[in-house]
């Protein structure tokens, strides 16, 4: 612990947001610190180490939270990722009339299912290419699960929604085909939430059919 650090003692159990806000830019100053312009992140960008390291140094700009006494360290590891899951679900503005599709049932997708379930949607559908993950998705609260490699997702979702398409689609796979799928099966005026980070370029033709949908497009970065 640095000699000028106040308010903490050695042995305190703490976690930090992944972003390390600069505290000086326009976004930090107007309260949107997670959109910080330099966007330094623990273990993600080149300025601040972290991730798989045995020890991580939290610089003074870190946004630190204390781990409650009754929370194990294994649970505490999920606080930051699940915080991201919650944020993605919040951006979908889910109501109890919505058919919600979450594409991707990895760790963060499972966090999204948990939180989306608490919003009491009309129907919570989860998609994943791995059946094992879909089983997990059901455990976490999905009403219906589909494997896109085994069925026609557009047909399934249209059948569930009187041909309109889903109200909310949360993209959490990191694969371009999931973006195309989401833009195809989300209804007019629906909410498409982009969450993933992609390793390759996404190409999608904004045809007249898609243009007519007038999405409430919501995009967020990985932070």
Which residues of the shown chain bind Zn ion in the complex (CB under 5 A)?
21-22, 25, 28, 36
C-alpha–C-alpha distance, residues 149 and 165, integer Å: 19
In terms of CB distance, is 16 or 28 closer to Zn ion?
28
**CA diameter of the chain:** 64
Residue 221 C-beta: closest distance to Zn ion, Å: 13
Residue 137 C-beta: closest distance to Zn ion, Å: 36
Residue 86 C-beta: closest distance to Zn ion, Å: 22
74, two tokens? 């294994």
C-alpha–C-alpha distance, residues 168 and 119, integer Å: 12
Phi-psi region of 36 (alpha: psi -120 to 50; beta: other; left: phi over 0): beta
C-alpha–C-alpha distance, residues 215 and 187, integer Å: 8
In terms of CB distance, is 20 or 185 closer to Zn ion?
20
In terms of CB distance, is 11 or 31 closer to Zn ion?
31
Rounded alpha-carbon distances, angstroms, from residue 109 to 127, 129, 140, 207: 10, 13, 10, 29
Rounded alpha-carbon distances, angstroms, from residue 25 to 22, 29, 32: 7, 6, 10
Residue 20 C-beta: closest distance to Zn ion, Å: 9
Residue 18 C-beta: closest distance to Zn ion, Å: 14
In terms of CB distance, is 24 or 66 closer to Zn ion?
24
In terms of CB distance, is 36 or 126 closer to Zn ion?
36
Q: Is 34 helix (H, G, I), strand (E, B) or coil?
A: helix
Residue 22 C-beta: closest distance to Zn ion, Å: 4
Look-up of token digits 């003074």? 60
In terms of CB distance, is 22 or 222 closer to Zn ion?
22
């Amino acid at each position: 612990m640095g000699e000028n650090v106040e308010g903490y003692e050695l042995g305190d159990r703490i976690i930090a947001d992944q972003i390390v806000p600069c505290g000086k830019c326009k976004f930090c100053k107007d309260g949107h610190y997670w959109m910080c312009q330099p966007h330094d992140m623990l273990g993600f960008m080149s300025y601040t180490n972290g991730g798989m390291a045995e020890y991580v140094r939290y610089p003074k700009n870190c946004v630190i939270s204390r781990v409650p006494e009754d929370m194990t360290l294994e649970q505490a590891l999920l606080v930051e990722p699940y915080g991201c899951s919650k944020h993605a679900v919040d951006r979908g503005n889910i109501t109890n009339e919505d058919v919600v599709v979450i594409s991707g049932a990895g760790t963060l997708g499972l966090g999204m299912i948990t939180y989306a379930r608490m919003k009491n949607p009309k129907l919570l559908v989860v998609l994943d290419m791995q059946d094992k993950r879909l089983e997990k998705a059901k455990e976490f609260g999905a009403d219906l699960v589909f494997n896109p490699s085994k069925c026609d997702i557009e047909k399934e979702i249209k059948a569930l929604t009187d041909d309109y398409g889903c109200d909310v689609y949360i993209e959490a796979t990191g694969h371009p085909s999931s973006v195309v799928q989401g833009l195809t099966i989300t209804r007019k005026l629906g909410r498409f939430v982009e969450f993933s980070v992609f390793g390759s370029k996404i190409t999608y033709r904004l045809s007249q059919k898609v243009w007519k949908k007038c999405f409430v497009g919501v995009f967020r970065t990985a932070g």
